[in-house]
Structure 1
Amino acid sequence: MAITLNLNGQTHAVEAEPGTPLLWVIRDELKLTGTKFGCGVAACGACTVHLNGDPVRSCQTFIEDLDGAQITTIEGLSADGNSRVSDAVQSAWVELDVVQCGYCQSGQIMSAIGLLSENPKPSGAEIDDYMNGNACRCATYQRIRAAIQRASEIMEA
């Protein structure tokens, strides 16, 4: 099946079977490897991308459902039209040295941007609730929460 995707502000014509997860098109067809495979059942968050501005799990988002959609991966954040939030999140991540192994971090960042886009001043409990379902094998959850709070402060300044 031929489909045209708008990914990171660029149009891509791809060929994929119905039922193909967006994750595999992003990684295998378009060679963008920032979006990670973690579990394949939308339980870990490693494959999170933005679909029309909202975080979704690309391992369970199927290619045939994407006609006309705007998709942003970690590689496309600077061109996502939401640079105030994405820049603040990325700055906070670096400032607080959140990353340990790094495998889950693109999904964590994409989810954090989704949260701060909806709620620029979340409480600790709201952060925990929103980020639930984003697994970190290294257990950097405290640093992730602190970075989201710091990004909120950066956005407010």
Structure 2
Amino acid sequence: MPTPKFILELRSKIGHDPLWLPGITAVVLDEDDRVLLARRADDGRWTLIAGCLEPGEEPAIAILREIQEETGVEAEVERLVSIEAMPPSAYPNGDQVQFLDMCFRCRPISGEARVNDDESLEVGWFPLTDMPEIPLREQRCLANALAPDHLPKYAGRPTSMG
């Protein structure tokens, strides 16, 4: 996937130093309790649909954009599932990054799932009982999206400021 222009501009100023970025992830579930997954072109792993917010973009709007861009599926956000600070990581070129990920539960409203950009090798709907392996963090997003209480989950425990 091409690096967004705003990140390239930041990297021209900070080099490979750590960059804090807002990330978004979608658990898209259809009426048959199938989840929408994409197999990434860069590493071949199956994943939930995810991306990075553009400057000034609202998270819920951004995840709907990502779903459509990557899969051709038009969706709507049902609710916020979780907010989680991801561990720091580095790309092969040495760029250091850390994401604050916001996971949303979404439902499809139109469109057929298909590879719709160069970020994915395959796209498809999978029954919850017969899915390919997805990363552990995404397994947590999925479990939280299926939780009966519908409350957003937060890593760690809030502490009193007083």
TM-score scaled by structure 2?
A: 0.32
The structure richer in helix per residue is 1
Q: Considering Cα pairs closer than 8 Å and 6+ residues apart, tell me whether 1 or 2 has the greater RCO.
A: 2
The structure richer in strand per residue is 2
